[in-house]
Amino acid sequence: MNFVDFQAAHILTLIPEITLILLIPLIMALDVIWPESRRRQLGLVTAIGFFAAIVLALVFSVPNGENALLFGGTLRNDLASFLFRVIFMFAGGITALLSLDVEGLGRKGEYYAILVGCVIGMNFMASAADLIMLYLAIETASIGLYVLAGFLRDDDKSTESGLKYFLFGAMTSTVMLYGFSLLFGYTGETNLYAIAQSLKNGDVPTATAIAIALMIAVGVGFKVALVPFHFWTPDVYEGAPTPVTAFLSVASKSAGFAVLVRVFLIALDPGATQWSPLMTAMAAVTMTLGNFLALPQRNIKRLLAYSSIAHAGYAMLGIVALSKDGLAATMFYLLAYVFTNLAAFTVVILFSRVAGSDEIADYAGLSRRSPGLALAMLVAFLSLGGMPPLAGFISKFFVFAAAVQSNLIWLAMVGIINSIIGLYYYLIVLKVVYVKPAPEGAPLIEIPRPYVFALGVLCFAILFAGTAATPWYNWAVDAAKSLF
Amino acid sequence: MNFPFLSVIALTPIIMAVLLLAFPEDRKSEVRVAALAGAAACLGLSLWVYFTYDVSAGGYQFVEKFAWIPKLGIEYHVGVDGVSNPMVLLTGIVIFTGVLISWGIDDRPREFFAFLFILASGVFGVFVSLDLFQLFFFYEIAVFPMYLLIAIWGWKVTREYAAMKLTLFLFIGSVFSLIGALAMYFAIGKATGVYTFDMLKIAEAQAAGALNFNVSLFGSMIPFERLWFPIVFFGFAVLGGIYPFHNWSPDGHVAAPTAVSMFHAGVLMKLGAFAALRVGIMLMPEGARFHLPWIYVLTFINVVYGSFIAMRQTDLKYMIGYSSVSHMGLVSMGFATLNYHGYLGAAMQMFAHGVMTAMLFATVGMVYDRAHTRQRDELGGMAKKMPWVMAGFTIAALSSMGMPGFAGFMAEFPIFMGGWSAGQPGANFVAPYYSWLTIISAIAIVITAAYLLIAVQRVFFGDISEEHDHHVGDVTVLDKVAITTLATAMIAVGVFPFLMGPMVKSGIEAALRVFGGS
């Protein structure tokens, strides 16, 4: 533990969050000042704000390697949290771009303001090193997300999605809070690293420790959509506005993983708590159920919802391997998944703008209506399916390698069988896109310029992470080391 | 630094694919010309590499090596030896002729050639890889374009089914091999302290005994290589069409458009056999020694059963599809002998069968495009209409049945020699049934002769139906160039065995050294 007294320089680590906090009033003010016709640019302002925050973070806030506990131990300044924060801000920026031309979202200042608020919450989720700070951060992010999911007030599906998400979220978060309180009660500590020490000293009976792990797993499992806490996923993903779904599936999931990694690998020390058989089983079941339930789906958003459950299972492989290499693999996996899934959802958004449908059958003939969009979909879906030279292949390779390294060969086998099932349904979608003829007189699909930019960046990132994986992987390895 | 020939060969197609996708959609003829230029460049470079390879020096040449992901010991490492060099040339020939005979594709040719080139990149990449990770990387690249190529441009009746079946079979195989390779990687790393995917270093460590330990499986202890060899070997051999995992292959061949059938039977199946040799047999020789005797029985079934089923087919593409299964069985059979002649034959057969089957599919495709049927019994008298096609098909048929003077003879004869001697006392290891199975499998050659000659007679000679007489015309100049290229390769290797024999010999001697010499 490396507690550091407050110094003015510590403020620098919070530069990105401060930027985002300033962004909120700016958006609200512009929303009031600008006439309706100019409000489309709110999304651009938000996106630029996010990317500016990333640049400022890279300039001022890169951790110095001391892994110090700042602000009385509430935040930990390490590379892992930094990496996660950059991921969230990137996802936020892309989501803002994707929302521009979406009916009911794109011209609303409050939508972008809440989005920024969620990202602030997630940033603190990733860096929190204290139970109270952690819980506050989780709620900051979650409450915003509930609102976003139900943002389209006049759309029954969206309101249902928001309510469902809220009810499930509130319940699981309460259980987790109870776990936190037990943890505090037994150890007398709120700092995660102090709790770890206390657990190693044997202050908590093993059975109680497992019960605590289980309770916290409820809350975190809900966030990352692990089976059996996944029930909300398909309904919420389907009903929420698609940019919000995209954001949920990448940023919220990664934030959940950031918490999971820190709480389970650090605070609930796996040597002292023995949660790994439980989590291993959950990973195997999550992959399998997610993939099997994706098979019969007819709606692309539901398909991607189940696929995101399955991907949470793959990402868990690196965590249950209980090694630093495994943790690095999971981090790399999440990075690749953010690019890939955002690209997939971008295609969904663009398609439904023109076609007004999310049914897979309606994607017939997309390759003739827009060859570029079809190609982007090919890249995104093959990456989800784990095909080289795309990011999905190499990230799956890393997590399977981590599992084999830790002698979890059966789990790796479950993983590869699942990736075969996964490939099957991704290919079915691509078949519709490329093989089926377009309906008579279907209009060509135009792509607005901000979307071209977003899609270009994402596809390039997928290819780049899939071939020149070295710098990304090195970051992931360093980040994994910095956590301990 | 020397000119990076192999990287250029392996990456030209994929770069070409990206360029093609950047063409405007309606520039179809420009797309075709660009594709042909790319393919010609690949063929030219692979010819250059083939003929400048120094046979007397042997070993891996044209080596390039860069760090890729150093933390995991992953490198970009390419090189060719006497076994992979003919394979690179084969791929060059098939991509060139494949583009030529796909000239007539009018539905989205831009995407067609782009996917075909991505496939070619994957294939070239596997043949030149000396790094295990890189090998898998390219192997998977070679798998997925097949799905799209077959599903979009294939035969309407079965294309969706066949494409999915093929892709899943191959993907399943490759991921199982991948797990095996990872197990090997960590085992070697733990034993030597050096974690590396470099196949040459893995082979060294294996020779030093790094894999000589037992692993527990359901409570019993099994030597590492005995446990993992079948997983790795079969994972790859699925793509080589080994019995009982062969039945994706005829379906895939039939449904695929002509150029893809050529690629698929001509090159892709060799990819499986080649990887099974490089990763399975050469990196885990102890496992190979233990398991190959019973695998020999499977390859025997491959050869005999494949040829009998081919005999029963009246659809020409199914006939050649099963014939490919039978002939690829000969390749695995050669590997399973673990002796000099078997390996020499197997390596030659990979090239010979590749060229020959590409020719068969190309010529059948040409007949089908004009006569609109592939039923042997509905055709007749095609020799009058398209004499070049008749000549090409006949040459390939003669090569296929092992006629001296053609590439097939140079390949099949040594395999039978190897199989026979492997069953004799004093062989590398004694498994007496080898000789008997070899004698029986030689019958398959007779069957091959039967169905191919019947096909030649029914399709090209006899009476032409009135309808065909009116509609069927001759093939284009480009088709004739393709036929000539393939025929030249077959005859050149058959008549001048020194063009390929010594090179292959230098390659397999290195392969057999892991078994303590030949």
- Closest by Cβ to B183, choosing from A387, A404, A424: A404
pLDDT at A1: 66
Judged on CB neighbours under 10 Å (0-12, 13-18, 19+), B55 is middle
| Rounded Cα–Cα distance for residues B88 and B46 (Å) | 6
Cβ–Cβ < 8 Å for B69, A469:
yes
Verify whether the Cβ–Cβ distance B69 to A393 is below 8 Å.
no
Distance from CA of B376 to the nearest CA of A (A): 29
Pairing of strands B61-69, A75-76: unpaired
- Closest by Cβ to A400, choosing from B14, B172, B182: B182
| Amino acid, single-letter form, for residue B203 | A
| Rounded Cα–Cα distance for residues B74 and B198 (Å) | 7
| Amino acid, single-letter form, for residue B199 | M
Query: If DSSP codes are grouped into helix, strand and coil, which group holds residue B311?
Result: helix
pLDDT at A106: 86
Q: Does A332 touch chain B (CB under 8 A)?
A: no
| Rounded Cα–Cα distance for residues B251 and A214 (Å) | 50
Angle between helices A156-187 and A192-200 (to 10 degrees): 50
Verify whether the Cβ–Cβ distance B151 to A404 is below 8 Å.
no
Verify whether the Cβ–Cβ distance B68 to A470 is below 8 Å.
yes
E strand segments, A8-60: none
pLDDT at B516: 62
| Amino acid, single-letter form, for residue B416 | F
Residue A135 CB partners (closer than 8 Å, separation 6+): A176, A177, A180
Q: Does A379 touch chain B (CB under 8 A)?
A: no
Query: Residue B114: closest CA among chain A residues belongs to which residue?
Result: A375
pLDDT at A150: 92
Q: Cis peptide leading into A296, omega within 30 of 0?
A: no
Q: Does B478 touch chain A (CB under 8 A)?
A: no
> In this structure, how many other beta carbons lie within 10 angstroms of the beta carbon of residue B467?
11
Q: Does A401 touch chain B (CB under 8 A)?
A: yes
Give chain A positions within 8 Å (CB) of B138: 388
DSSP type of residue B59: S
| Structure token digits, residue A227 | 């089976």
DSSP type of residue B376: G
Residue B326 CB partners (closer than 8 Å, separation 6+): B302, B303, B304, B305, B306, B307, B310, B444, B448
CA torsion angle for B61, B67, B71, B72 (degrees, to 10)? -30
User: Quick one: which of B395, B269, B377 has its CA closest to B321?
Assistant: B269
Q: Which of A370, A395, A431 to mutate against chain B (most B CBs within 10 Å)?
A: A431
Q: Does A286 touch chain B (CB under 8 A)?
A: no
| Rounded Cα–Cα distance for residues B270 and B356 (Å) | 13
- Closest by Cβ to B69, choosing from A393, A420, A473: A473
pLDDT by 10-residue block (mean), chain A, 484 residues: 79 92 94 88 93 94 85 88 94 93 88 95 93 94 94 91 93 94 91 90 87 92 91 93 94 94 89 85 93 93 94 93 91 94 94 89 88 92 91 93 90 91 92 87 86 93 91 91 88
pLDDT under 70 in chain B at which residues? 1, 425-431, 516-518
Distance from CA of A328 to the nearest CA of B (A): 11
Give chain A positions within 8 Å (CB) of B124: none
Q: Does B111 touch chain A (CB under 8 A)?
A: yes
Pairing of strands B74-80, A75-76: unpaired
- Closest by Cβ to A420, choosing from B69, B138, B171: B171
Residue B185 CB partners (closer than 8 Å, separation 6+): A401, B73, B132, B195, B196, B197, B202
pLDDT at A373: 92
Verify whether the Cβ–Cβ distance B108 to A367 is below 8 Å.
yes
B305 to B298, B308, B324, B416: CA distances (angstroms):
10, 5, 12, 17
Quote the ipTM score.
Answer: 0.90
Cβ–Cβ < 8 Å for A379, A462:
yes
- Residue in the block written with tokens 């030529």: B100
| Structure token digits, residue A411 | 């789990």
| Rounded Cα–Cα distance for residues B414 and B442 (Å) | 12
| Rounded Cα–Cα distance for residues A298 and A437 (Å) | 18
Verify whether the Cβ–Cβ distance B72 to A401 is below 8 Å.
yes
Give chain B positions within 8 Å (CB) of A397: 133, 136, 178
String of DSSP letters for A298-325: -BHHHHHHHHHHHHHHHHHHHHHTTSHH
Q: Which of B69, B110, B232 to mutate against chain A (most A CBs within 10 Å)?
A: B69
